Structure 1
Amino acid sequence: MVRRAAGRARRARLPARRRGRKETAECRAHSRAGRGGVALRHGDRIQIRLHAGGGPERHHPDQQHLLDRLRRILRAVPRKSGVPARAQGAALRASLRLSAGRNRGLYGAVTRTGQRKRGPAGRPDELPRHLPAQRAAAEGKAESLQGCRAAVGLGGDHSADRRRLNNDFCKKIGIAGCICPFRHHVKDNEMLPPSACTAVGLKQRWITCNPCSVSPQQPKGVETMEKVRIGVIGCGYMAQTAHIPCLAMNPAAELAAVCSRRVEVAEAVARRWGVPFACGSEEELLSRELDAVFVLTPVQWHLANVGEALKAGKAVFTEKPAAMSVESARKLAAAAAAAGKGVSVGYMKRHDANLAELRRILDEKKWGKLLFLRAHAFIGSHWNAAIDSLVPVVRATSPAPAFDAAPLDPGPAFLKAPRDAKFYSFDNPYYGLLDTGCHSINLLRFLAGTEPKVVSASERGGAKFAELDFGGVTGTFEFCVNFNMRRWDEVTELCFERASIRILTPPPLEMQSSSTVEIYDEAGALSRRFTLENNRQWSFRLQTDAFVEKVRAGDNSAADLADAEKDIAVIEAISQALHQ
């Protein structure tokens, strides 16, 4: 109370024009009730203080560091940015609100000089303590923190939603970029301060989203490259659990729009990941200014969706398989050639770092001739690594639209079944073999380096077996989808004259895993075993990174389509052999 009275007395002695007007920018270290901290005044009536907790007799050891941090923040928010002081104050207040735990926290307060607001405990009115003070902030990444928090003045409690900020708002307020290494959380449907919205002319007022990405401060003279603006068609299971998180983690990508025929799903996904635009039609999404499109719809929609994206002049990434039939894959290849745009197909195993290294070793041809290959893929219900219990997926609440086969890929002509909802589901044996078995076929082709011919195929008890001929080398393919069992069981083996290789591939959605490659080889009197261990690099993320770099490099090749056509040809041949 004494300190408050003294403060009021000091302010009362100031001339009226100074109590409510800006003061010259100044920095001062201060001690308040035994707590170390620093403070600055900046701009029009904005006062910033950063305190360091630590008990009555302890001062924060990094007081100079905190002071430097405040200076960097003030430099990032120009005084002449055209944004009112009130909006800047809200932004800075949000950026400085840090907490590192009880009695050892950092917290910031921004007030307007002469108009301090007090919270219930008598301290300046502040945002709730919900943002961890990561050690990274103490290593010079405070710009990232302010980049994402200062842009909007977000507050709120922890939530499972990770959010991304609006790029336009960041640019207009004078902050370069909006990506941050902290995976902070904010409340759902967080609102921008009305004054801040008015200041920058924003119509939308919710900002949600992803782990932000303010890149580390660029050296002087180095120009930051523009991000690849990406739209997503299809907001289903794989989009939410794999592709959108990987796009959010890529600092060179900007997720600019999402689309789903169930528009409520698209809107919910947009809120969760901070996507500025959501819609219910592919045409509306493709009309926007995008560099590339991810087609994440079921395979029966690929022919239409990929074709439309190519006509719109977008580079395309599509989930595997590329199409329902060889004929449809060729149509897409022709469309890509006509549009002059690249198409990548999502065989993420080829981006697995250990498998890429194995392919490099195989190219050295030091183990003699290849004698035998085997792919064993028995897929249980935990193909998704049981991620459902950890990351809830947004699902549609509205009734499904009436089934219409007109826009769908008709599939191969040799299948005589009616094109109904059952045909486009796992109830159709061909659909299940194509949708999931294509991964194993693609991996066998990748490792063998030659194209197989189907010798024979059989099916017993729900398990399918095929004998393949890789140019005089025998290969086998064993496949079964059995959701009565949880286990994921996928093994690929290669036998050479002087070596044998065993590859254990993890469930696709096991995000912190890669393939394990066990190698036994012989050289003269030497016999050895060595392993390419699980390196914790998720192949989905590596695949996304490779596609983004391909787009940035202006690579418009569609070689993936030609390669994917060969996978579909093998699946068609196995299916025909099973029906004979």
Structure 2
Amino acid sequence: MKKLRIGVIGCGSIAQHRHLPEYQINPNVELAAVCDINQERALEVAEKYGVLSYTDYNELIKSGEVDAVSVCTPNYLHAPITIAALDAGLHVLCEKPMATSKEEAEAMNAAAEKSGKVLMIGHNQRFVPSHQKARQLIQSGEIGRIYSFRTAFGHGGPEGWSVDGKESWFFEKEKAFVGAMGDLGVHKTDLLRYVLGEEIVEVGSFVETNAKEFADVDDNAVCVLKTESGIIGTLAASWAYVSKEDNSTIIYGEKAILRLEDDPINSLVVQYSNGEVVKYELGKIQSNDAGGQNNSHVIEHFVNAILLEQEPAVPGEEGMKSLEVILAALKSNETKQIVQVR
């Protein structure tokens, strides 16, 4: 089988920690090129992987050297680069949040449909074993009706792991569009939609900047969410957790409580109403902590979708639905009202 030639656009932390190493270990992939507006960084990464180096994404897209690209740039560039790549007949794996507006997301999905190429969004929480097991338990009826949930994603902030530290684009509204809610909250809206198997229909939120005085995006957000069947719960996204990262979710059902990534050893703990407790040791969630697993499985799903001509695990439509919850949260904070997710 001919290997898939890949280009990675944007050579920051997510590319260096996830995309590039995961492409490199994939037997069906040939890493062909990288691109970054920072020429020094582009050259350094290109040299490390023995690939071509570009500073203009249009040149890479039109080079004929690649079949597919990963878009690992600041958020405001996700849509223009993705659309340009799809229009040029390339498959695209785009980092989350997929876009900065619903209109951008719709344009990306339209470009994917028109080109017939794969567009996948990098929502890796769907591939975490504890999350997949929880979804199965809920779908099988084992947990009974779901009443409530609480989910959190927090760490000390991007300055701890971004290649640019405090100077990172993550803190600039013009480039990031949204802070902790876009970096972490969108992962959790995607996770909830996946695990519960339902859409979120109403959102109320408080979205603040109170921990990073140098940032002009949010660093702490708490949302109340309601699903179509009436499940209610909370989502917290924060860049102000100065000690251990939190990436936990608890789901309260009729017959049991599910604790996901809440225990350091057992990634899923099921506490049944009759007092029985079942513990699953399914391997650690991927994280920026050294203890997390390093393979996010996003790359292999993207590559397989292309080679097997299948629907990607997280298509653009799914990325858009998860983004819409974040957009509703921002609107709720602005208007001080409960917002319907369109």
Q: Which TM bucket (shorter chain)?
A: 0.7 to 0.9
SS at match of 2:84: helix
Q: 1:559 to 1:519 in 2, by over 3 A?
A: closer
Q: 1:498 to 1:536 in 2, by over 3 A?
A: closer
Between the aligned partners of 1:499 and 1:307, the Cα distance in structure 2 is: 44
Aligned mate of 1:423, from 167, 173, 176:
173
Contact preservation (8 Å) 1:454, 1:574 = no
Q: Could you report, residue by residue, the CA deviation over 1:192-246 in whole angstroms, capped at 9, with x for unpaired residues?
A: xxxxxxxxxxxxxxxxxxxxxxxxxxxxxxxxx2211111111112111221011
Structure-2 residue corresponding to 1:474: 232
Q: 1:380 to 1:526 in 2, by over 3 A?
A: closer
Task: Report deviation, 1:480.
Answer: 2.1
Aligned mate of 1:518, from 269, 272, 277:
269
SS at match of 2:247: strand
Structure-1 residue corresponding to 2:32: 256
Task: Report deviation, 1:476.
Answer: 1.1
Percent of aligned pairs with the same amino acid: 28
Between the aligned partners of 1:387 and 1:515, the Cα distance in structure 2 is: 26
Structure-1 residue corresponding to 2:202: 454
**TM-score calculated relative to the size of structure 2:** 0.83
Q: What is the root-mean-square deviation of aligned Cα atoms in Å?
A: 3.0
Q: 1:516 to 1:528 in 2, by over 3 A?
A: closer
Between the aligned partners of 1:370 and 1:317, the Cα distance in structure 2 is: 33
Q: Which amino acid aligns with 2:173?
A: F
Structure-2 residue corresponding to 1:487: 244
Q: Could you report, residue by residue, the CA deviation over 1:489-525 in whole angstroms, capped at 9, with x for unpaired residues?
A: 221110111111111179xxxxxx9981111225xx6
Q: 1:285 to 1:349 in 2, by over 3 A?
A: same
Structure-1 residue corresponding to 2:60: 285
Contact preservation (8 Å) 2:182, 2:326 = yes
Which stretches in structure 1 are left out of the alignment for 5+ residues?
1-224, 404-420, 507-512
Contact preservation (8 Å) 2:93, 2:120 = yes
Question: Does 2:300 match 1:545?
Answer: yes
**Aligned pairs, how many?**
315
SS at match of 1:264: helix
Q: Could you report, residue by residue, the CA deviation over 1:398-426 in whole angstroms, capped at 9, with x for unpaired residues?
A: xx9xx9xxxxxxxxxxxxxxxxx942256
**TM-score calculated relative to the size of structure 1:** 0.50
Structure-2 residue corresponding to 1:309: 85
Following superposition of structure 1 onto structure 2, how do residues 182-201 of structure 1 map, counting pairs within 5 Å?
Answer: none
SS at match of 1:288: coil
Contact preservation (8 Å) 1:234, 1:297 = yes
Between the aligned partners of 1:358 and 1:530, the Cα distance in structure 2 is: 12
Contact preservation (8 Å) 1:380, 1:489 = no
Aligned mate of 1:571, from 326, 331, 335:
326
Q: Which amino acid aligns with 2:144?
A: G
Question: Does 2:304 match 1:528?
Answer: no
Q: 1:487 to 1:424 in 2, by over 3 A?
A: farther
Q: Could you report, residue by residue, the CA deviation over 1:60-91 in whole angstroms, capped at 9, with x for unpaired residues?
A: xxxxxxxxxxxxxxxxxxxxxxxxxxxxxxxx
Contact preservation (8 Å) 1:354, 1:514 = no
Q: Which has the larger Rg?
A: 1
Contact preservation (8 Å) 1:233, 1:295 = yes
Question: Does 2:311 match 1:560?
Answer: no
Task: Report deviation, 1:283.
Answer: 2.0
